[in-house]
C-alpha cells in the first residue's frame, strides 16, 4: 500500500485509529513507509513462514520465520518459496500521552524505535515468536470482523505486542533503571542517553533528539529526573561501569572507556562521587559479599 492509498483508506473508513493489518505471500516486495506531514506511522513486518533477505541501503539482512522487522526499508525477497508475512501499519495517534497507560505505550515504542536505529530486525525467541503470532492473529480477526469495540481491542493488543517485543530475551536494549516520565520529550532524551551513553554526547545532540530549546530542556530535565543533564549522564555511566566491574574481569581502564569516560582519572573521580568508593574497592567488596 503506497502513501496515497494509505491516506485514502483512512479517509474512507469509519475506524479513525490509523491502523491496518493483513497477511501477504510475497516473492519480492519493496517496503519503506514514509509519512508526509502527518502523524508518525510505523510499519511492522512479521515473518510467519519461509526465509529470505531484505536488501537495503545498508546491505543485506537475513530474514526467517519468527523474525520481526520494524520500519524496514528495502526490497524483501524470498529465497526459494514465497515468504508469508503479516504487515501492520499503525500511527502514534493511536496513543495519547495524557493517558497513563498510553504514556507507557509511548515509552515502550520509544525503546523499540531506538533499537531500530541500530538494527531494524529482531530475531524473537521461540516463546516471543509464538506470542507474536497469537496477538497478530487476534488483531487480524478484530480488524476483519469489526465487532463492537473492535478498535479498542486492536489498540490493547497492539500495546501488548509492543510489550512482548520489549520483554523478549532477544531485545538488546537494557531497560534496567529506566522508568516512564510524564514528559514525552524528556523521555526521548533519557532513552537517547540510555542507548548512547558510551559515546561522546553533547547537549546539542540531545536537543536534536527531543526538540526542546536549551533553557527549557535543562529546567524540564531537572524537574523530571531530579538531576542535571551532566549528573544524569555520569550516573548512567557509573551504573553501567559498576555492573561490568561485578560481572566481568575486564580491566578498569577497559570498562571506563566502554562506558564513555575519556580517561581513567576522570572515571575514578566521577565513580567515587557517585558510589562513594573507588572502582577497585567496589569490585573487591562485591566479590567478598
Chain CA centroid to CA 228, Å: 24
Q: Which one, of 191, 195, 164, 167, lies nearest residue 260 by Cα?
A: 195
In the predicted model, what is the mean pLDDT of residues 279-288? Answer: 86
Residue 137: give its domain's CATH number: 2.60.120.280
Q: Which residue has the higher pLDDT, 186 or 218?
A: 218
Model pTM greater than 0.85? no
Among the three residues 120, 140, 167, which one is the final residue of a domain in this structure? 167
The pLDDT confidence band at residue 88, using thresholds 50, 70 and 90, is very high
223 with 84, same domain?
no
Same domain (yes/no): 218, 254: yes
Tell me: do 197 and 88 sit in the same domain.
no
Sheet with 74-78, strands from edge to edge, namely: 28-31, 74-78, 51-56, 59-64
Q: Are residues 141 and 39 in the same domain?
A: yes
Kindly report the three-state secondary structure assignment for every residue of 178-210. Answer: CCCCCCHHHHHHHHHHHHHCCCCCCHHHHHHHH
Is there a single domain that holds both residue 200 and residue 96? no
User: Do 146 and 276 sit in the same domain of this protein?
Assistant: no
Q: What is the mean pLDDT of residues 197-221?
A: 85
Last residue of a domain, one of 138, 167, 196: 167
Do 91 and 37 belong together in one domain? Answer: yes
Provide the 3-class DSSP secondary structure of residue 140: helix
Range of the domain at 26: 3-167
pLDDT (tens digit per residue) in 112-159 = 776 666 567 888 889 999 999 999 999 999 999 999 999 889 989 998
CA torsion sign for 84, 73, 112, 34 is negative
Work out how many domains the chain is built from and give that number.
2
Nearest to 254 by CA among 274, 283, 217: 283
> What would the pLDDT profile of 100-110 be if each residue is shown by its tens digit?
566 667 667 77
Q: Which of 82-86, 112-116, 204-208 has the lowest mean pLDDT?
A: 112-116
* pLDDT tier for residue 274 given thresholds of 50, 70 and 90: very high
Amino acid at each position: 500500500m503506497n502513501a496515497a492509498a494509505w491516506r485514502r483508506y483512512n479517509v474512507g473508513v469509519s475506524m479513525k485509529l490509523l491502523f491496518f493489518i493483513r497477511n501477504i505471500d510475497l516473492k519480492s516486495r519493496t517496503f519503506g513507509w514514509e509519512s508526509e506531514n502527518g502523524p508518525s506511522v510505523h510499519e511492522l513486518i512479521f515473518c510467519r513462514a519461509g526465509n529470505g533477505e531484505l536488501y537495503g541501503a545498508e546491505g543485506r539482512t537475513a530474514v526467517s520465520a519468527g523474525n520481526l522487522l520494524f520500519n524496514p526499508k528495502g526490497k524483501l525477497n524470498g529465497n526459494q518459496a514465497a515468504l508469508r508475512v503479516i504487515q501492520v501499519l499503525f500511527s502514534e495517534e493511536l496513543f495519547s500521552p495524557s493517558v497513563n497507560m498510553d504514556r507507557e505505550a509511548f515509552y515502550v515504542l520509544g525503546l523499540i524505535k531506538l533499537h531500530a536505529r541500530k538494527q531494524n530486525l529482531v530475531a524473537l525467541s521461540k516463546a516471543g515468536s509464538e506470542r507474536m503470532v497469537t496477538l497478530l492473529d487476534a488483531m487480524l480477526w478484530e480488524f476483519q470482523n469489526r465487532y463492537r469495540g473492535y478498535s479498542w481491542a486492536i489498540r490493547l493488543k497492539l500495546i501488548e505486542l509492543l510489550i512482548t517485543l520489549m520483554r523478549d530475551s532477544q531485545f538488546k536494549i537494557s531497560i534496567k533503571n529506566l522508568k516512564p516520565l510524564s514528559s514525552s520529550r524528556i523521555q526521548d532524551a533519557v532513552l537517547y542517553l540510555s542507548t548512547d551513553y558510551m559515546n561522546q554526547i553533547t547537549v546539542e545532540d540531545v536537543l536534536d533528539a527531543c526538540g526542546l530549546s536549551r533553557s527549557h530542556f535543562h529546567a524540564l530535565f531537572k524537574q523530571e529526573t531530579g538531576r542535571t543533564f551532566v549528573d544524569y549522564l555520569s550516573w548512567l555511566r557509573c551504573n553501567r561501569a559498576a555492573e561490568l566491574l561485578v560481572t566481568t574481569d575486564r580491566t578498569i581502564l577497559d570498562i571506563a572507556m566502554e562506558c564513555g569516560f575519556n580517561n581513567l582519572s576522570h572515571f575514578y573521580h566521577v565513580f567515587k562521587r557517585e558510589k562513594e568508593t573507588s572502582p577497585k574497592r567496589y569490585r573487591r567488596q562485591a566479590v567478598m559479599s
